Structure 1
């Protein structure tokens, strides 16, 4: 418990820091987003729009971060016929404002969704294999005789296990994902939370950590707790592949996710924070000028 408190304090400390680099373009510079501004004549919907976006004031992201696009897509998914425009406005002090302009909310449920797919495209055999892997993993975790589950990233760069049955599942999932990667790419923008969760779980066995990390990052603010949980878990498992540049940004997102009240949100966020701090890849604070008052 004491270690968790120390991690939480460090999290808040790093969360207030800006990372700058002279070789970045303007769209790649990390900004602190001070607020989400909703412009609409439907005043009773403002708080709901903010909630749907999945963003909270204080997160850190570059203007080019897919997190911002995902937030806008979630709003468009909820308010299907509304006219929506999302944009970021950079301000002084490496800060920014996320602005959502939205109109015609009263007719938001009359046409099919245009921004995500309701069709399940993952092959049934992949889903069944995943379900059996999860059931076996949960069974081992619940068994007092099994002891701790020893998992690691093997020489082929995918998640593997010392346990023989789980090892066989890992090999099977590694082969399975190589056959269906195009379908998995199509489900990144799925409206179905179970499909998004399955995508992330499959990415553990992709064998391409950098690609898996990039995709998982886009799910960290997902509206579904199980999807967020899987995304944070993947990043913690593959933390040794996370670059110094990405570590600060991911630490900010993990700190922001601690504001959610579910156990899985807080647990997996703290696991990722612990992994990142253990790696010692975070940029040290150079001076008081880098810290917001």
Structure 2
């Protein structure tokens, strides 16, 4: 009997997900993709049909609208039976326009197959493509906290990130940000390179956010940790009763989903990447990058 170590399980599941992207989203092997999914596969993306063939059918529909579209993995964190990643989807529409979409994907594996899937997509790009079925707020069921064995450092890193969302973002304690972020931390937005780095810029940015959404609250729906990396799916809720970035006050509600990856160094966030569902911001009445 072969015993699979935690590190071995993480590597095996990362390889499984990478095989999916190569097989389906790069080589278009629709006939081979089904074997990568567990018989009880569940997909929480409302645009994906139920069953093991749902992802392939959804991708075929996208490829019909964007011939030659493919997905590349930008960042990947494997954590026991879960794999979370950022992906960039590129191609050209039938009208010749450039197509570029950023998504975050979370997969749960079981018995060497993909058993469950959640995602965060920049639905504003899909709306521009004329995709229907985007009327909801893209809510997907939350998952458990860390699952399976982790090092003390990984657990401490996860608690650091959870504390930042609780204290800084939900309790609006910007004065506490120094405990969670390095002063010169770097910020990467997958859609725009205009986001400034550093803790001072961070505080100014979120001071504007809180002024625009005085009731802003965050909920961490999923979290994974591996080494110095932590990734989360987060739901942001509030009401645009103030002015921000040339928009508002609209009085409209916000329910926005993001995926955020953090690199932790010496007990604080040193680097941050994010994927944002900008359609939610647009519907709340704010301009987007």
Q: Same fold (TM over 0.5)?
A: no
Larger Rg: 1
Q: Which has the higher strand share?
A: 2
- TM bucket by the smaller chain? under 0.3
Q: Which has the higher helix share?
A: 1
- TM-score, normalising length: structure 1: 0.25
